[in-house]
Structure 1
Amino acid sequence: MAHVTWDHTPPTTWIAMVDGQALCSIKRKDIGGWTAAWTDERLWPPPSHLPKALPQPTQFFSSLEDAKLAVEHALAA
């Protein structure tokens, strides 16, 4: 299991780091919510309400906590 550390660039960006390598950035959106974007070739699975959608490198989250948990869960797999 990967140990994720978080680097914060105030006020709007969090970077998920594993072994000193940035793997995902989470940014606050002006319209509300947060987006998590992989910095490598990983993709987020399509949302359950759009099962035919293609996987995407960016996913929207309503809260920072939800975004961080999803990133940590994806990196633990």
Structure 2
Amino acid sequence: NWIGRNTLQIYVLHRIFIELLGLSVLTLAVQYNLFDNSAFSLIWALTLPVVAVSTCTAVSLLVWSLLNRGPGRALFLYPV
């Protein structure tokens, strides 16, 4: 219960950012026909998961630390 109460906020923010990053980068790659290049496809498959999760986790922690002050704390209250 304690772990869930302290990680739910980060998970919720993380999902928003990972979807936003994934969809925007994927749209750009498709628009510029980057997947026609097999080297790009391989690099994409190997690096995107690590880079996306790292970036989104860092951004989520930053947003959480900024919002989790003053009135913004109400956004992260665990239901009683």
Q: TM-score, normalised by structure 1?
A: 0.30
Question: Highest Rg: 1 or 2?
Answer: 2
Q: Which is bigger in relative contact order (C-alpha 8 A, separation at least 6)?
A: 2
**Which structure shows the higher helix fraction?**
2
**Which structure shows the higher strand fraction?**
1
